[in-house]
Structure 1
Amino acid sequence: MGSAMSEILHTESFSQVSRFHATRSAGFSSEEGAMTARFTVLKDIIVVDRHTGLMWQREASPDRLMWPEGFAYIDALNAAAWAGYDDWRYPTQEELATLLMPEENQATGLYIDPAFGSQRCLWSSTEAGHHKSVYADFYYGDLYLVEQKYANHFVRAVRGERL
């Protein structure tokens, strides 16, 4: 881990938000197969969350991106009408927090439902302070704040009414 990543600022407020949403949105047991009860995979490329009504990319961006580059990635999805839709966007921190599961998935080692790809860190659209953004780390199961110029994370686009 580079020195830039050691500069990550973890704040209690982000932790409280993620734990609240993970507990509130879970609605599943830890038994194999039960975890996907709230998610429906369509066309093998998108996932619909029946609790929030949001539609997600199943796999995130193919490469890690700097936070500003994520907007170009989203624009390219919309220009191509990816999966038949042209209203994809960056998720908010609250929306990403709904994907954090209260228990680790034993198969992937991540705190995210197995309906999704195994990308560990995902950017949110949420900015906090000067050149800082919130991202979800599904390995640790929490939200973090980092300076945009120090991190490359994946982007998982979402569509639907903002939470």
Structure 2
Amino acid sequence: MKSTIICCILVSVLFSLCILNTEAAFGRKPKKLIPELETKFDILTAWVAYRLNLKHSKEACIGDYGFTDELATNLVKIKVPNPNDQQKCYVHCLYTKLVFYKDNKINMQAMKESLFEIVGEQRLVNIVNGCLNAGGVNECDKVYKFHACASPEFDKVRGDIFLSDE
């Protein structure tokens, strides 16, 4: 968590120095990014912050469950056929550490705060609302089924932002 905060502060300071305070820092008139690049910078900054939070949550949950990194990644990517209860609880752990699941329900506010810049508000609301009733017999199953429903939609968002790995 500390490194996530430090990273966000560093990005903000660098952005401020490079864009907002150029004149004060270097005696020149500040230059602004063109709107398209400014939007992309905001998306990239939000993506980096989210990925750092996810990395720390993943590390903590791997420690709690003793899973390999490969298994943990495959669980998040919904590539484990018929996950058992412990594997579903790993996903619950991630959502809890990310504060996406709080007080026995999906925490839309935390998801908005973390993913708004990346996904866009309406698209995020549509994804979450479309998966809220995915079901589940217990808390871990409920979170896993929500994630299994939402994950392909978030993959589409990622595909809209980044080039494919292939």
TM-score by length of 1: 0.27
TM-score by length of 2: 0.27
Q: Which has the higher contact order (CA 8 A, sep 6+)?
A: 1
Larger radius of gyration: 2
- Choose between structure 1 and 2: higher helix proportion: 2
- Choose between structure 1 and 2: higher strand proportion: 1
